[in-house]
Amino acid sequence: MLCLGIESTAHTFGVGIVDDKGNILANEKSTYRPASGWGIIPVDAANHHKKSGSKVIENALEIAGISIKDIDIVSFSQGPGLAPCLKVGMEYARYLANKSRRIIGVNHCIAHIEIGRLLTESKDPVIVYVSGANTQILSFSSGRYRCFGETMDIGLGNALDKFGRNVGLGFPPGPKIEKLAKNGNWVDLPYVVKGMDLSFSGIVTECIRKYNAGYKLEDICFSMQEVFFSMLVEVTERALAHLGKKEVLLTGGVAANTRLQEMLGIMCKERGAEFNTVPIEYAGDNGAMIAWTGILHYKSNKNAPCNENDIDIQPRQRTDMVEIGWIK
C-alpha cells in the first residue's frame, strides 16, 4: 500500500511517497524564499506552492518509479500553518485523490514526531519539537501527544530567524547563526523559563539591542544559542524526571543544530536516557513525514469513510487536539 503525502504549511511544498512498512520511495520539495530582510509573505508562499506543486508531484512519482494509479491514499498537512498555503496543499490532495482514493488530513507537528520515531526507532520518548513556528516538549499519554512545556510567544526557529533578519543574515538564518556561534564568547543575556514554559522574544530584543550597541555578532550568536538551548534542556530534563521516561527525541527544523544535539545528548547521558535526533534530511518540513503519518492514520482506522466534504484545513490545530489511534 502506498501513500502520497503533501506538505505545504509554510515555506516548503513537499511531496513524499511512503509504503505501509515505512519505506520512503520519494521525498521531493521546493522551497519559497522571501526577499532578503522579509519574513514569509503568506500569499507569495501560496503562489509559489501553486506554481511548483505539479512539478514536485511529478518528480516524486518519477523517483519512486510509479504512476498516480499506484497510489492508494493521499494525505496532506491540514494544520497548524498559514491558511493560504494549507489550502493549496489541500487542493492538490483533492485533485490527486480524484474522489476515488482515501484522503487524510494530517497534523504537521505530529508528522514531525512520527517521522522521527520511524527513522530512529525511538519508542516512547519525551519529544523536543523545535521548528520555525513551534516549540513544544511533548510525550504520549492517554491517547494523545500531550504538551508538557511550550513557548509562550514565538517558536525557537522564528526567534533565531528574527534575530538573523535584523542583523542582515540571509534566509534561513538558523544555520548561519550556528556557524558564527562557533567563534563566539559569552555575553550576558536574560534566561526566561516560567514553570515548564519558555519565552524567546524578549531575549531576541536584547540580542538586537546588543548588536546595535556594537557587541560582536559571533558573541551574540554564541550566547543566544547557549541561553535558548539551556532553557530547552532544563524543561526537557524536568519532563523526563516527572514522567519517568528514558528516551528523548529531537525533531523539527532546529533539530539540525549540532550544538543543540550536543547539549541534549549530554543531559541524557548524565540521566541514563537514550537520545535520538531525526536525520537531517527529515528535520525540516517534508512530504515523507505527511505520507507516513497518513499511513498510520489509515492503519488505525481503515474503515473511516472517504468523505471529501469532511476534509478541511485547520490552521490553528494543536498537537494535543489529535487522537493517536496507532499507539496503545
Which residues of the chain form contacts with Fe ion (CB under 5 A)? 131, 285
Contact, 191 vs 166, CB < 8 A?
Answer: no
Which of ligand ATP, Fe ion, none binds 178 (CB below 5-8 Å, type-dependent)? ligand ATP
Task: In angstroms, give the least distance from the CB of 256 to ligand ATP.
Answer: 4
Three-state SS sequence of 44-61? HHHHHHHHHHHHHHHHHH
Nearer to ligand ATP, 9 or 293 (CB): 9
Cα 250–chain centre separation: 10
Which of Fe ion, ligand ATP, none binds 133 (CB below 5-8 Å, type-dependent)? ligand ATP
Contact, 4 vs 298, CB < 8 A?
Answer: no
Q: DSSP for 286-300?
A: -HHHHHHHHHHHHHH
Nearer to ligand ATP, 97 or 180 (CB): 180
Please tell me whether residue 110 adopts helix, strand or coil conformation. helix
Task: In angstroms, give the least distance from the CB of 307 to ligand ATP.
Answer: 27
Which of Fe ion, ligand ATP, none binds 161 (CB below 5-8 Å, type-dependent)? ligand ATP
Nearer to ligand ATP, 4 or 10 (CB): 10
Task: In angstroms, give the least distance from the CB of 215 to ligand ATP.
Answer: 20
Give the contacts of 95 (CB within 8 A, at least 6 positions apart).
none
- Please report, as ranges, the residues that interact with ligand ATP according to CB under 6 A: 9-10, 81, 108, 112, 131-134, 155, 157-158, 160-161, 172-175, 178, 252-254, 256-257, 284-285
Contact, 187 vs 220, CB < 8 A?
Answer: yes
From the CB of residue 79, how many other CB atoms can be counted at a distance below 10 Å? Answer: 22
CA distance 285 to 288: 9
Give yes or no for a cis peptide into 172 (omega within 30° of 0): yes
Nearer to ligand ATP, 139 or 151 (CB): 151
Task: In angstroms, give the least distance from the CB of 177 to ligand ATP.
Answer: 6
Nearer to ligand ATP, 80 or 294 (CB): 80
Which of ligand ATP, Fe ion, none binds 139 (CB below 5-8 Å, type-dependent)? none
Contact, 166 vs 125, CB < 8 A?
Answer: no
| Main-chain dihedrals φ then ψ at residue 158, nearest 5 degrees | -65, -30
Which of Fe ion, ligand ATP, none binds 84 (CB below 5-8 Å, type-dependent)? none
Task: In angstroms, give the least distance from the CB of 65 to ligand ATP.
Answer: 27
Q: Alpha helices of 65-138 — where are they, by DSSP H?
A: 83-97, 108-120
Task: In angstroms, give the least distance from the CB of 111 to ligand ATP.
Answer: 9
Nearer to ligand ATP, 71 or 285 (CB): 285
Identify the H or E element spanning 105.
Answer: strand 102-107
Nearer to Fe ion, 208 or 315 (CB): 315
Nearer to ligand ATP, 253 or 294 (CB): 253
Which of ligand ATP, Fe ion, none binds 245 (CB below 5-8 Å, type-dependent)? none
Please tell me whether residue 132 adopts helix, strand or coil conformation. coil
Which of ligand ATP, Fe ion, none binds 27 (CB below 5-8 Å, type-dependent)? none
Of 106, 21, 90, 98, nearest in space to 67 by CA = 98
Which of ligand ATP, Fe ion, none binds 239 (CB below 5-8 Å, type-dependent)? none
Task: In angstroms, give the least distance from the CB of 142 to ligand ATP.
Answer: 24
CA distance 292 to 295: 5
State the amino acid at position 282 in one-letter form. Y
Task: In angstroms, give the least distance from the CB of 78 to Fe ion.
Answer: 13
CA distance 155 to 174: 12
Which residue is nearest to ligand ATP, using beta carbons? Answer: 253
